[in-house]
Amino acid sequence: AQPLLIVRDLKKHFPVRSGLMGKAEKVHAVDGVSFRIGKGETLGIVGESGCGKSTTTRLLLDLTRRDAGEIIFDGRGLGGGRDGISLKELRRGMQMVFQDSSTSLNPRARILDIVMFPLRAAGVDRTKARDRASMLLDRVGLHPQAFGHRFAHELSGGQRQRVNIARALATAPRLVILDEAVSALDKSVEADVLNLLADLKAEEGLTYLFISHDLGVVREVSDRVMVMYLGQIAEIGPAETIYDRPGHPYTRALLAAVPSLDPAKQIAEPPLKGDPPNPINPEPGCRFRARCPYAEGVCKAIDPAPVPVGEVEISCHMCNRASGHSQAADWLDA
């Protein structure tokens, strides 16, 4: 598929003060992340909390200002001069649905007004905005006559998330970022909302960036999957390949914790030890090495760059060497 979004070398280092002396240091929240999403595709992002999943999406929408990196939406770079895309256009084309929480919907606004708001903000007149908002509420399964005048607290969690989806679709975006969008829902409600998302995707020709800590759900919805560890991409590729034959030791450890229905496909790997290391001023070398059962000398010396292994890209010296790419060869030969 043609890429809808291209991200190159995205970086965000947050300044922090640490220790008794309040030493100025940097949290490497997102540290050189590059990926693309094809038109009509769903890219899933997985990784433990703090791996940079949410920061990455905030950087895409410039809700957090990036330190470095290129964001190219449908062929046009953000902040890219005359042929570039403005932030306003980008935010219209790329919308976000967060985990349902008390803060995601204005408690004092009626549902119809909530869905109308982005349209009014985009300059759509009141009647047209009302018509489109009613249509969208209807489309997400909330009859506008029955729900339009209600307030968020009068809805169930699943209904509130439908409102969030309707609002995200108001400006007819092409890419929708779903950041733990179904995570707060009961399993049966979650399945209904996932079905709705799949229908909307097909009907509207949407592209999804789907973030979840639930590896099973990510597998179900994603065409491709990106595995993040401490602000970097460990592995990215087709969902089936990543889940059935993960290469990166971190992906293997993550998936080993998920029981497979097919015992032949169960990933056998020792469970993850401890917590991810502190992302403040990480030492050189592979970020995963303190928890990796395969770490060797080169892993301490060189930060592994992503290398294509078949359809997958993996950032691991061992995997790269096994596949015939010897990124580490110079180091080993020396």
Cβ–Cβ under 8 Å, residues 179 and 96: yes
Listed in sequence order, the residues at least 6 apart from 270 whose beta carbon sits closer than 8 Å to its beta carbon are: 253, 256, 293
Provide the token pair at 120: 């009014």
Out of ligand SF4, Mg ion, none, which partner does residue 286 contact, by CB within 5 to 8 A per kind? Answer: ligand SF4
User: Which of 109, 277, 294, 301 contacts ligand SF4 by CB under 6 A?
Assistant: 294
| Contact status: 207 vs Mg ion (CB under 5 A) | no
User: Which of 54, 134, 164, 207 contacts Mg ion by CB under 5 A?
Assistant: 54
User: Which of 288, 306, 307, 309 contacts ligand SF4 by CB under 6 A?
Assistant: 288
Distance CA 229, CA 150 (A): 42
Query: How do strand 23-38 and strand 3-18 relate by DSSP bridges?
Result: antiparallel
Which one-letter amino acid corresponds to residue 239?
A
Listed in sequence order, the residues at least 6 apart from 135 whose beta carbon sits closer than 8 Å to its beta carbon are: none
Q: Output the DSSP codes for 25-87.
A: EEEEEEEEEEEEEETT-EEEEE--TTSSHHHHHHHHTTSS--SEEEEEETTEEBT-GGGSB-H
Question: In Å, how far from its chain's centre is CA 260?
Answer: 24
| Contact status: 292 vs ligand SF4 (CB under 6 A) | yes
| Contact status: 315 vs Mg ion (CB under 5 A) | no
CB half-sphere exposure, 42, CA atoms < 13 A: 22
Residue 99 or 159 with smaller CB distance to Mg ion: 99
| Contact status: 151 vs ligand SF4 (CB under 6 A) | no
Residue 256 or 295 with smaller CB distance to ligand SF4: 295
User: Which of 93, 144, 247, 249 contacts ligand SF4 by CB under 6 A?
Assistant: 249
Out of ligand SF4, Mg ion, none, which partner does residue 294 contact, by CB within 5 to 8 A per kind? Answer: ligand SF4
Residue 227 or 316 with smaller CB distance to ligand SF4: 316
Residue 93 or 306 with smaller CB distance to ligand SF4: 306
Out of ligand SF4, Mg ion, none, which partner does residue 193 contact, by CB within 5 to 8 A per kind? Answer: none
Write out the residues near ligand SF4 by the rule CB under 6 A: 249, 286, 288-289, 292, 294-295, 299, 304, 316-318
